[in-house]
Structure 1
Amino acid sequence: MDYFESDGLKLAFRVEGEGDPIVLAHGFASTHRANWIETGWSRALMDAGFRVIMPDMRGHGTSEASYDRDDYTLSAMAGDLVALLDHLGEAGADLMGYSMGAMAALVAAMEHGGRFDRVIAAGVGARLLDADRDPGPVVAALLADDPSGIADKGALGFRLFADRNGQDRRALATCFEAVRAPFPVAGLGDISRPVLVVTGEEDEQARAPGPLAALIPGARAVTVPKRDHMKTVGDRAYKEAVLKFLAG
């Protein structure tokens, strides 16, 4: 792993391949390896001629953690993606995020649109438009001493995923509270970059991509058949849709 500094935090990243740069922002409780390498994404993009830039988002993987909620705003995470481009001397890049990473990618397109070319927001959909997205069950699951008593299946899934990836659960709980704040929906209409929104047909955490894409000028929506939030990540139909989008 290599490291760069952003907003006082030491963050990890990995670069693979040669060609046009694309930055990949992973989902909550994941890591660059779990989200992009183990799923075959980095190989698929390298084979398509891309230089793949994969950070561990702040508080995740081998990046530095904070226990201050203000350090986990989506604007801060979007700033990390720009700081990574600066560190690498890249004027711009394509950008793909999954779930939490997709939220950060959309905010990056709002706030730093000149630095990103095409944007893929996957694992997010209509639910992102809800003003009230209660973080309580997931936060409680992350902080529980014993996961066997967690009744909420979605929250339990995040807890087990965090444990599998060896994450700092206290940092993740702080992060989750921040990213579940109301999303800046009004800014979606200001995005001027080409955007693709992708969700799984059975993804109850994201819901349908169409209502979100409809608020972004010119955005396209794709639904991956018969996949939930976790299984969409490595799905072939998701990869095919993204590679077609990037091919223009």
Structure 2
Amino acid sequence: MKNFTHDGLQLAYLDEGPRDGDPVLLIHGFASNKTINWVETNWVQTLTEAGYRVVALDNRGHGQSDKLYESERYTPTLMADDALAFLRHLDIGKAHVMGYSMGARIASFLARDHGEVVATLVLGGLGMALVEGSGDWAPVADALLAEDPEALADKSGMEFRTFADRTGSDRRALAACIASNRVLMPAEDLKAIRQPTLIAVGTKDEVAGSPHDLAALMPQAEAFDIEKRSHLIATGDKTFKAKVLDFLQDHPL
């Protein structure tokens, strides 16, 4: 397992594809990890076969990276700093950056605060929820900590509890993460993200918010509808992959 140290944490990562290819940094979503989000969905294969160098980390609290149980250590700013440190560890000065769901939120904060390292931005599974939020996530944290999953009544809580169990996640770390990670980005701040941006959301996604409304707030953004896909299913959609490949080809480093 490859790993590097940042903020006192050991963070696991992968680095695949040709070293002379344009680098693409992939940032996974909540309760997922680099393998579930990017390898099993064939994103790594798709991008490396297209000639890109693909790098992806397990976010703090996830996968094979160190776990934390203090919610204040999971803000998007801190997790974006992990991504920045990751690029520096690999001596990558600028990369295409793609995140899904929570990973898209982290990618947005990285682009806002450290735009010099972001060539283009792909936000998957996140639209206006970045600015407006998407309801109360406390039931998800409660579901992650519940002793008896059979007693859960909240639909979203049940879905994320099932997903966390399937991925073998540390549920206490995830509960700490969800408590502080969903920081909103002021609409005014989106003007500072001037990189070409693709915002892709499933048409059956009930948590991401409108990709079109978010794109309208950004200087160089376009929206893409992932037809007939829900939040947890859209990640590996083939039309999404084709759109991203076209987008990256149109905006080389």
TM-score after normalising by structure 2 = 0.95
Which residue of 94, 101, 107 corresponds with 1:92?
Answer: 94
Equivalent position amino acid for 1:110 in 2 = R
3-state SS of paired residue (1:247): helix
Q: Which residue of 2 aligns with 1:15?
A: 15
Q: Which residue of 1 aligns with 2:146?
A: 144
Contact 2:62 2:174 in 1 (8 A): yes
1:193-212, aligned counterparts within 5 Å?
A: 193-212=195-214
Q: 1 CA distance for matches of 2:15 and 2:117?
A: 18
Structure 1 residue 153: Cα displacement: 1.5
Contact 2:62 2:170 in 1 (8 A): yes
Q: Which residue of 1 aligns with 2:187?
A: 185
Contact 1:208 1:223 in 2 (8 A): no
1:45-60, aligned counterparts within 5 Å?
A: 45-60=47-62
- Percent sequence identity over aligned pairs: 46
Deviations 1:6-48 (A, max 9, x none): 2121111011111211110000000100000000100000011
TM-score after normalising by structure 1 = 0.97
Structure 2 portions without partners, runs of 5+: none
Contact 1:24 1:54 in 2 (8 A): yes
3-state SS of paired residue (1:157): helix
Q: 2 CA distance for matches of 1:146 and 1:109?
A: 40
Aligned pair count?
Answer: 248
Structure 1 portions without partners, runs of 5+: none
Q: Which residue of 1 aligns with 2:224?
A: 222
3-state SS of paired residue (2:180): helix
3-state SS of paired residue (1:85): helix
Equivalent position amino acid for 1:195 in 2 = T
Q: 2 CA distance for matches of 1:184 and 1:144?
A: 33
Residues 86-95 or 23-32, more deviating: 86-95
Contact 2:134 2:207 in 1 (8 A): no
Q: 2 CA distance for matches of 1:80 and 1:118?
A: 18
1:60-71, aligned counterparts within 5 Å?
A: 60-71=62-73
Structure 1 residue 187: Cα displacement: 1.4
Structure 1 residue 131: Cα displacement: 5.1
Deviations 1:210-242 (A, max 9, x none): 111111111010011100001100100110111
